[in-house]
Amino acid sequence: MRLAFSTLGVPGLPVDDVLRLAGDSGFHGVELRAHPEEPVHPGITGDERASVRRRFAAAGVEVLAVAGYAKVAAALPEAAPRDAGPGATGPASEEELAADLTELVVLAADLGAPYVRVFPGGGDRPAAEADADAARRLGALAPFAAEHGVTVLLETHDSHRTGYDAARVLGPVGHPNAGVLWDVMHTWLGGEDPATSCATLLPHLGYVQVKDIASEKDTTPLPLGAGVLPLAECVEELTRAEWDGWLCWEYEKRWYPHAAELPELLPAGREHVMRLLTESS
């Protein structure tokens, strides 16, 4: 398995500094948080995209994914409401969501990233409605993603936090360029054990986000191995299944400013994962 980390852990850090961190700590790839407050997002120019791709290639580090914030299970009207003014946040219509999704795919392709991350975002909608909308949208996007050499991954998150939830969407899609990102915290918070999550998600699995937290009620990020998440069991299940993909450390510093700084934790985090991999082999 190969190791990456997410820029969610180093919010706003310039690309060259991110690459220096990856090289110094022995990580093979980086998941880029695609938000306007970050250096890399869908609004950057073609020249800027080419520059980012060249710098990653020169450093020998891969862009694992573009982590977007589009919500494919959200309820949206066909057209934007008349009162959706300039202060509105997020897509106001199906058309705008489709545009957001295609922009993320194009950005990933321009950067040479194999994956795009999207969220469910179904809120408290009836599960059948949220599932149907998510499957329809991912099904429409998947052929476009395939043309660009990209796979769109639905993260186990919010309204669809377990493997079972994600599989309800991806099964009907049935396209190789629509898959899942396994966030091990959310499946655990959803009450699903690693063996069940792994078996359910493997047919659709793009990569895995690892992390650690203090408890179910305190999700402040901790160094890997310092919390309660069943990381060893997750790695053991993946190894037993002979899965050989990416493990990405998503340290949610952006949402917890008082958490320890990620750069100082990266070398020990890498050692912890490598130890888990050795013990599970």
Provide the greatest CA pair distance for the chain. 58
CA atoms within 13 Å, Cβ hemisphere of 180 = 31
Q: Which residues pair with 213 in a beta bridge?
A: 221
Q: What's the pLDDT score for residue 80?
A: 62
- Please name which of 46, 10, 54 lies closest in space to residue 30, comparing C-alpha atoms: 10
CB 249 within 8 A of CB 9: yes
Residue type, 8: L
Instruction: Indicate the pairing of strand 62-71 with strand 29-33.
Output: parallel
Each domain of the chain, given as residue ranges in start order, spans: 2-77+92-280
CATH 3.20.20.150 given to domain 2-77+92-280: yes
d(CA 102, CA 70): 10
Q: What's the pLDDT score for residue 86?
A: 36
Residue-level pLDDT, tens digit, the chain, 281 residues: 999 999 999 999 999 999 999 999 999 999 999 999 999 999 999 999 999 999 999 999 999 999 999 999 999 987 665 444 433 457 779 999 999 999 999 999 999 999 999 999 999 999 999 999 999 999 999 999 999 999 999 999 999 999 999 999 999 999 999 999 999 999 999 999 999 999 999 999 999 999 999 999 999 999 999 999 999 999 999 999 999 999 999 999 999 999 999 999 999 999 999 999 999 98
CB 106 within 8 A of CB 148: yes
